[in-house]
Structure 1
Amino acid sequence: MSAFPSSAVARSAAPSAAPTQADLLEFARRTAADAELIASLPLDPEGRTWVRLDGPGGSEAWLIGWPPGTGTGWHDHADSVGAFVTAAGELKENSLAARLPTDGWKTLELSEDVDRERRLPAGQGRSFGRHHVHEVLNESTDRHAISVHAYYPPLPRIRRYSRTGPILRLEQVERPEDWQ
């Protein structure tokens, strides 16, 4: 990851109540439209880059650069709700339209009708609820994508999964100290 000057971090006024999914999506849209901030993100040709932003109401927010051909792998954000908006390029989100058990399992067999795919060109985004399992990809072969993400409450953990056909397997649980 590349270092990022703290002077470029976006600031926003904090509402008195916990931010909703709609609040997070609106923040991500406004931030993604900030051309100066988006252009200031250093891009690495091989790995994702990111910088932490101040999100609304104490939320956790990130500006992320995606080199061609990169992605997150299957994961969820545990008890946090979230939103993200593509600021440049295009991202693809594969997600599961199924409520999974939150704990106590290592392997699940998914039914055939749970897969969803969404393409998010610049200016497009989405919000999601707790325990939303997805992967985000930049499928371009020659162009970076940049996106803005926001989560509330700040991420307590991220669960990472592997997937082979209908089989979803819990592989790892990350805590904030693993990525900050």
Structure 2
Amino acid sequence: MSDVSIAGDPTAFPHLARTDLPGHPTTVAGYARLVREIAADRARWEPLVRYDALTRWYARLETGPGYEVWLLSWLPGQSSGFHDHGPSAGVMTVLQGELTERALTADGEGSRALGPGGVRVFATGHLHEMVNAALEPAVSVHLYTPGLVEMNQYPAATRRDRHRVH
């Protein structure tokens, strides 16, 4: 007796071979689209948001082949510190509130405020700090590709030295 005769013909069960499932993103544009879709789906992320007075709060929202998505909340004054994301690149957006990104540029350190809806793409090796410099809490979503396996922190002296070298 064969497995097919026991289990039946697998092609007779169309739900086992669905072709209407959404594909996973594989490009920067696809990752940005996924981040925008998550941001627009408030019912998906808003019930998960928590705030922690001691540190930024975070929760993994989704994983896929070669990426992961994180939800973060920030109380006023909370910061990531200057860091990079190891071998990961990423896409992020602010869902509510405002965050300030401080990054190393050719001219030194630059900063920009990020409000809801804007999408920020960053490459591997991007050295920056995210901080909630506003008076209200903030929420953001971050996609990393490949998934985040390291986040290297850089104190002020190291940032100056790294800037001089590059």
TM-score by length of 2: 0.75
Between structures 1 and 2, the one with greater strand share: 1
Distance 2:85 2:159 in 1: 21
Between structures 1 and 2, the one with greater helix share: 2
Mind listing any 5+ residue stretches in structure 2 that lack a counterpart?
1-20
Instruction: Tell me whether 1:24 sits opposite 2:17 in the alignment.
Output: no
Contact in 2 for aligned 1:78/1:158 (Cα 8 Å): yes
Between 46-55 and 118-127, the greater mean CA deviation after superposition = 46-55
Distance 2:46 2:91 in 1: 21
Mind listing any 5+ residue stretches in structure 1 that lack a counterpart?
1-11, 99-112, 170-180
RMSD: 2.3
Paired position in structure 2 for 1:167: 160
Where relative contact order (Cα < 8 A, 6+ residues apart) is larger, the structure is: 1
Paired position in structure 1 for 2:113: 119
Paired position in structure 2 for 1:64: 72
Deviations 1:85-106 (A, max 9, x none): 00000111111235xxxxxxxx
Distance 2:53 2:60 in 1: 20
Corresponding pairs, count: 141
Between 129-138 and 113-122, the greater mean CA deviation after superposition = 113-122
Distance 2:64 2:117 in 1: 19
Paired position in structure 2 for 1:129: 123
Contact in 2 for aligned 1:14/1:58 (Cα 8 Å): no
Distance 2:32 2:161 in 1: 28
Identity of aligned residues (%): 34
TM-score by length of 1: 0.69
